[in-house]
Amino acid sequence: MGIVSQSIFPQPFRAVGCAECRNAEALGFDFTMAFQLIVDIEQQRPFAYEALVRGCNGESAAEVLGRVNDGNRYRFDQACRVKAIEQAAKLGLLDIPDCLLSINFLPNAVYRAETCIRATLEAAQRFDFPRERLMFEVTEGEQIHDAEHLKRIFAEYGKQGFTTAIDDFGAGYSGLNLLAEFQPHVLKLDMALTRGIDQDPVRQAIVAGIVLVAQRLGIRIIAEGIESVGERDALIELGIRYMQGFFFARPALDRLCCV
C-alpha cells in the first residue's frame, strides 16, 4: 500500500460529497450491500453488521470489485461508505442498542484521510447515524508499502470517533509486524486460523498467543469464518467473545439477521 498518487484520478483530486457518491452514473456502475451479523457471544446479541458489496442482480463481491480500477477506485470507496450507512439506517440497525456498522475501506483510495472522510461524515449526518457506531476495516492482505500512510488514516479515524479494525489478521505476511506499527481497536482473525480450530492444537496455540497480545494492548478480537459448534466452543474456551460466520448467519440483502 502507499499514498495514492494524483495520477490515479482522471481529474485533479478533490473530496466528493454524499450526494455525488450516491450517483451510480458518475461511478459507471451500481451495486448494493449485504449485511452479515457479528455476534457478541457473551451477551447473545449483535455486536455489529458488516456491509459487504454485492451486485444489484445478485452478482458476487468479486464481480463487482472486478469493475474497480485506478480511475474509479476513490469514488467507489466513497460510494461504499455512503451506501452502507444509508442502507443500514433504513434497515433499522440504529434500533439495535450499541450495534456497530462495519465498513471495509480501500487504503489505496484514501489520499488524505481528513479530506476523504467528508462524504462519510455527510452521510452519517444525513441519515442520523452516530459516527461512534461506525467501524472501518482494512484487510491485512492489502499491500502495505507505506505503513505511515495507514497509521495516519487510523489516527484520523480515531480522532473522528470511528472504531478501526484490521480484517483477515493472520492471512497476510505482515502479521505481528503490522500490529507493532499501529494498534487498531479490533482484530478480526482470518478463517485460516479459526477453521477446524477445535481439532487443531497448533491453531489453538497460535490463537491463544494472539489473544494474549490483544489483551495486553486493549484490542478486541472478532473470530471470522465460524461454521460449527466445535469451532465456536473452542474459541469461547480461548477467551474470544465476538464471532462471525455462516454458523450464526449468512450475508443477507434487505434485512439484518438476528442472533
Query: Among 36-45, 113-122, 126-135, which stretch is predicted with the lowest mean pLDDT?
Result: 113-122
Q: Cα dist. 191→49, 96, 188, 244 in Å?
A: 17, 27, 9, 10
Count how many residues are written for the chain: 259
The reply to whether the predicted model has a pTM over 0.85 is yes
- Phi, psi (rounded to 5 degrees) for 256: -115, 115
CA 103 to chain centre: 4
34's CB contacts (< 8 A; 6+ apart) are 51, 52, 54, 251, 252, 253
Question: Which one of 113-122, 148-157, 180-189 scores highest in mean pLDDT?
Answer: 180-189
pLDDT score at 146: 67
Of residues 189 and 6, more confidently modeled = 189
Mean pLDDT of the chain: 86
The beta strand positions in the chain, using DSSP E, are 32-40, 45-54, 100-104, 134-139, 163-169, 186-189, 220-223, 242-244, 252-253
**Residue 241 pLDDT level (bands cut at 50, 70, 90):** very high
Burial grade of 158 (CB within 10 A; 0-12, 13-18, 19 or more): middle
pLDDT of 42 > 60? The answer is yes
| Mean pLDDT of the region 181-199 | 94
Of residues 148 and 14, more confidently modeled = 148
Domains of the chain: 12-253 (3.20.20.450)
pLDDT score at 143: 56
- Residue 167 is which amino acid? D
Q: What span, in angstroms and rounded, lies between the C-alpha atoms of 177 and 147? A: 10
**Residue 87 pLDDT level (bands cut at 50, 70, 90):** very high
> What confidence tens digit (pLDDT) does each residue in 63-80 have?
999 999 888 888 898 999
pLDDT of 17 > 60? The answer is no
pLDDT of 223 > 90? The answer is yes
Q: 10 Å Cβ neighbour count for 213?
A: 16
Burial grade of 181 (CB within 10 A; 0-12, 13-18, 19 or more): middle
Of residues 116 and 172, more confidently modeled = 116
Quickly list H helices, 43-182: 61-65, 73-90, 113-116, 118-126, 147-159, 175-181
